[in-house]
């Protein structure tokens, strides 16, 4: 069926007469044997419903995990053997670098915008586009081609884009990883992650690794995320509208430097981003003069809350240097929420104008 995003997320569980509309949570550690489900670590119908929905959006088979990091660490564990070489983004999510640094593998770091090293002898190329927090973008199609020519697998962390913003499997990637804690769940109240791949054998390995490793998502958390998914199209639309409006007023603001949002034609990543992304989300990055300037901005704003996550209903702002990201002290990632655009723009401008003076 050739439905649009809004229809697909609302109808991700086909309505059945006499049944509830959603995939309500099924709690079971043990099942009465006789059907396909035996035990709660390998089997849960609430997972299956959300895995079907996310897999369909990604264009592959999805396997859920209790967090984005559990999804990423399982992919690394399944794909990499000791002594293998992995390429990771030097400007991507910091815990991914922490994780590979602890593994018995060779690690090569490359900035998302490039230049990239030769992929000869590499087992896995992990990309993140747009990258968190810098919002740089890489050409997934071109990189997947050169990685495959060298015999490497390609995984893309699709957290910032979401499955509605970008479909890395269609662009040539082998694996998608996502922290659904962010915009997919969207309400700042639950952690979840998933892996998608169009390779059934790899999907089975990832699923088995989950069953054996034991890091499984809770049915209640799974249901919450599935409930949130139904409004992803609406939320992303408002968030992107807010980000676009903020971009317009921030780009010429005296207190703001190095403003990034790949949705704007004036952003250096826009050309590549608009070729491979289906829509742009609500996350912007920019620099204020110092950590103190960020603190003042947050104190004066009534609508922007300090928070280290993104993609939620509320507009939030995170000064990344406080977590050890290798970025300037005043760099913030601002996640536009679902507030009214006029209210948000007025609030941000009022909070900033003071800091400029
Ligand atoms: C948040 C995030 C993660 C980790 O996800 P959790 O759900 O917090 O474990 C991984 N990658 C990116 C890009 C993220 O933003």
Give the number of other Cβ atoms within 10 Å of residue 277's Cβ: 23
DSSP one-letter code for 84:
-
- 19 CA distance to ligand 1 middle (Å): 34
CATH of the domain at 72: 3.40.640.10
Return mean pLDDT, the chain. 97
For residues 294 and 336, membership in a common domain is answered with yes
Among 229, 247, 274, residue at a domain's last position: 229
For residues 48 and 37, membership in a common domain is answered with yes
For residues 222 and 259, membership in a common domain is answered with no
Q: Is 41 a catalytic residue?
A: yes
Catalytic residue among 5, 58, 136, 157: 157
Q: Kindly indicate the confidence band of residue 355, based on its pLDDT and cuts at 50, 70 and 90.
A: low
Please tell me the predicted confidence (pLDDT) of residue 231.
98
Would you say the CB of residue 310 lies under 6 angstroms from ligand 1? no
For residues 47 and 154, membership in a common domain is answered with yes
Mean pLDDT calculated for residue range 122-148: 97
For residues 289 and 252, membership in a common domain is answered with yes
- 347 CA distance to ligand 1 middle (Å): 28
* H/E element, 175: strand 175-179
3-class SS of residue 318: strand
Counts of helices then strands in the chain (DSSP H, E): 11, 12
Express each pLDDT in 95-108 by its tens digit.
999 999 999 999 99
**Sign for the pseudo-dihedral over CA of 160, 134, 76, 200:** positive
Among 229, 259, 286, residue at a domain's last position: 229
For residues 221 and 240, membership in a common domain is answered with no
Going by C-alpha positions, the residue among 271, 278, 329, 332 that lies closest to residue 307 is 332
Flag whether pLDDT at 356 surpasses 70: no
For residues 165 and 294, membership in a common domain is answered with no
Please tell me the predicted confidence (pLDDT) of residue 252.
94
For residues 218 and 250, membership in a common domain is answered with no
Extract the tokens encoding 281.
């989300």
Please tell me the predicted confidence (pLDDT) of residue 174.
99
Among 229, 263, 281, residue at a domain's last position: 229
For residues 181 and 256, membership in a common domain is answered with no
- Which residue lies with its CA nearest to atom 11 of ligand 1? 93
Flag whether pLDDT at 298 surpasses 80: yes
Express each pLDDT in 6-57 by its tens digit.
999 999 999 999 999 999 999 999 999 999 999 999 999 999 999 999 999 9
For residues 196 and 303, membership in a common domain is answered with no
- 290 CA distance to ligand 1 middle (Å): 26
Q: Is 157 a catalytic residue?
A: yes
Residues 165 and 176: their CA atoms lie apart, in Å, by: 13
For residues 211 and 267, membership in a common domain is answered with no
Please tell me the predicted confidence (pLDDT) of residue 214.
97
Express each pLDDT in 192-237 by its tens digit.
999 999 999 999 999 999 999 999 999 999 999 999 999 999 999 9
Would you say the CB of residue 132 lies under 6 angstroms from ligand 1? yes
Largest CA distance in the chain: 72
**Sign for the pseudo-dihedral over CA of 39, 42, 47, 53:** negative
Would you say the CB of residue 193 lies under 6 angstroms from ligand 1? yes
Domain span at residue 260 reads 232-356
Total domains, the chain: 2
For residues 236 and 225, membership in a common domain is answered with no
CATH of the domain at 257: 3.90.1150.10
Catalytic residue among 5, 8, 93, 180: 93
């Amino acid at each position: 069926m050739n439905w649009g995003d809004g229809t697909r997320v609302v109808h991700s569980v086909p309505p059945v007469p006499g049944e509830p509309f959603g995939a309500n949570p099924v709690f079971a550690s043990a099942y009465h044997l006789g059907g396909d489900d035996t035990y709660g670590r390998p089997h849960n119908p609430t997972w299956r419903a959300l895995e079907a929905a996310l897999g369909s959006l990604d264009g592959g088979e999805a396997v859920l995990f209790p967090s984005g990091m559990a999804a990423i660490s399982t992919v690394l564990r399944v794909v990499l053997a000791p002594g293998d070489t992995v390429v990771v983004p030097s400007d991507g999510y910091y815990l991914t670098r922490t994780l590979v640094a602890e593994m018995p593998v060779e690690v090569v770091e490359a900035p998302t915008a490039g230049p990239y090293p030769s992929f000869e002898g590499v087992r896995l190329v992990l990309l993140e586009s747009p990258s968190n927090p810098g919002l740089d973008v890489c050409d997934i199609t071109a990189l997947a081609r050169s990685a495959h020519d060298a015999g490497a697998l390609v995984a893309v962390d699709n957290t910032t884009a979401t499955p509605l913003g970008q479909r890395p499997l269609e662009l040539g990637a082998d694996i998608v990883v996502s922290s659904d804690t962010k915009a997919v769940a969207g309400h700042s109240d639950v952690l979840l992650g998933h892996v998608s791949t169009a390779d059934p054998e790899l999907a089975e390995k990832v699923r088995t690794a989950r069953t054996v490793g034991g890091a499984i998502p809770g049915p209640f958390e799974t249901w919450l995320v599935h409930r949130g998914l139904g409004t992803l199209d609406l939320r992303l639309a408002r968030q992107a509208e807010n980000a676009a409006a903020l971009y317009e007023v921030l780009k010429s603001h005296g207190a703001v430097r190095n403003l990034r949002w790949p949705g704007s034609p004036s952003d250096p990543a826009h050309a590549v981003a608009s070729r491979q992304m289906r829509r742009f989300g609500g996350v912007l990055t920019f620099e204020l003069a110092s950590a103190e300037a960020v603190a003042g901005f947050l104190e004066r704003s009534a609508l922007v809350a300090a928070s280290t996550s993104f993609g939620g209903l509320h507009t939030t702002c995170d000064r990344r240097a406080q977590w050890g990201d290798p970025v300037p002290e005043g760099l913030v990632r601002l996640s536009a929420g679902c507030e009214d655009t006029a209210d948000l723009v007025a609030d941000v401008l009022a909070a900033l104008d003071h800091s400029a003076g």
